[in-house]
């Protein structure tokens, strides 16, 4: 009588997959490390601009084209022939708001393009906070916004802009414009993460930007508009920002417009930033 011994084969171990960083890693990463990651990623974005100087064309040329176009085409019609300097003083603070809006749109297309190129796949494997990728991109775009605002002011001074308040008022107007522009970036980041192509991001953005820009007090006084459009202008955040910047630079009421602009900035950031970061974590 023979006995058959059954030997069990050793269980095969499945190779472990590399651990994927999740949103909870943002909590485990300390503040100092997070700031270091933001600095490194911001440097990477600036090196991209250095390698591709054409990407600065919008920040450099857009303020020059806009101020020349509106001053010499619409200045006489708005403030009377030969009184273009008065229109420059009215227009430049409004264009500061417009610069922030247009450059903020570039953040959404940039994020969308990074996903197309596979850059975000590399970030996915790195032990970094997800939010640092977005904040670093915003830091660089705020820098581009500052460049555009500086060029706009230089052109304004050449064409006759005068500051009736003080240098501190001018700096406060610039700071208010940058803060509002930075809050808008969260909207365009969310669009860039949601839309399939950069062209779709631009298309949707323009549908929003055009009514906000031209239905505001940036280019013309609301008193010349029909009643229904004046009501829209009163609640338009770009009108509040333009009016606050005018008050800070050339004199006039400031408090209400500045508080409304800050309220819009904080509100947009509180609502859109968590949504954008959550969408980014989901995609990475």
Output the tens digit of pLDDT for each of the chain's 284 residues.
Answer: 444 444 444 444 444 444 444 444 444 666 777 777 778 788 887 887 787 777 788 788 889 998 998 888 877 666 666 677 888 999 999 898 888 888 888 888 888 877 777 766 666 666 677 677 888 888 888 999 999 999 999 999 999 889 988 899 999 999 999 999 999 999 998 988 888 888 888 888 888 888 888 888 888 888 888 888 888 888 889 999 999 999 999 888 899 999 999 999 999 999 999 998 888 888 76
The answer to whether position 104 is within a domain reads yes
Burial group, residue 3, by CB count within 10 angstroms (0-12, 13-18, 19+): exposed
- Assign 117 to helix, strand or coil: helix
The answer to whether position 15 is within a domain reads no
The answer to whether position 9 is within a domain reads no
Q: What share of the chain is helix, strand, coil (3-state, %, to 5)?
A: 80, 0, 20
The answer to whether position 157 is within a domain reads yes
Q: Give the pLDDT score at 42.
A: 81
The answer to whether position 209 is within a domain reads yes
The closest alpha carbon to 23, from 281, 213, 236, belongs to 281
CA Rg, the chain, in Å?
25
Residue 234 phi, psi dihedral angles, 5° rounding: -60, -35
Sorted by sequence, the CB contacts under 8 Å of residue 180 that are 6+ apart come out as 97, 100, 237, 241, 261, 264, 265
Domain that holds residue 114: 29-283
Residues in the chain: 284
The answer to whether position 192 is within a domain reads yes
The answer to whether position 189 is within a domain reads yes
The answer to whether position 243 is within a domain reads yes
Q: Give the pLDDT score at 11.
A: 45
Q: Please give the tally of structural domains in the chain.
A: 1
Q: Give the pLDDT score at 175.
A: 94
Sorted by sequence, the CB contacts under 8 Å of residue 95 that are 6+ apart come out as 63, 66, 67, 70, 152, 218
């Amino acid at each position: 009588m023979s006995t058959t011994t059954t030997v069990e084969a050793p269980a095969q171990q499945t190779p472990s997959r590399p651990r994927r960083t999740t949103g909870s890693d943002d909590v485990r990463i300390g503040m100092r490390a997070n700031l270091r990651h933001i600095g490194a990623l911001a440097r990477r974005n600036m090196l991209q601009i250095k390698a591709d100087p054409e990407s600065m064309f919008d920040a450099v040329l857009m303020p020059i084209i806009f101020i020349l176009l509106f001053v010499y085409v619409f200045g006489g019609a708005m403030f009377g022939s030969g009184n273009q300097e008065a229109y420059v003083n009215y227009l430049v603070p409004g264009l500061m708001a417009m610069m922030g809006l247009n450059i903020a749109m570039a953040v959404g297309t940039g994020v969308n393009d990074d996903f197309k190129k596979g850059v975000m796949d590399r970030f996915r494997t790195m032990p970094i906070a997800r939010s640092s990728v977005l904040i670093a991109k915003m830091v660089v775009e705020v820098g581009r916004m500052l460049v555009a605002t500086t060029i706009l002011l230089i052109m304004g001074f050449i064409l006759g802009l005068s500051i009736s308040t003080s240098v501190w008022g001018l700096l406060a107007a610039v700071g208010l414009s940058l803060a509002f522009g930075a809050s808008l970036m969260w909207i365009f980041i969310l669009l860039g993460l949601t839309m399939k192509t950069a062209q779709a991001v631009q298309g949707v953005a323009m549908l929003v930007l055009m009514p906000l820009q031209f239905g505001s007090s940036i280019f013309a006084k609301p008193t010349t508009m029909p009643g229904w459009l004046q009501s829209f202008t009163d609640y338009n955040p770009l009108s509040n920002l333009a009016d606050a910047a005018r008050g800070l630079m050339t004199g006039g009421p400031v408090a209400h417009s500045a508080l409304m602009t800050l309220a819009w900035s904080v509100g947009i950031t509180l609502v859109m930033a968590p949504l954008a970061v959550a969408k980014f974590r989901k995609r990475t």
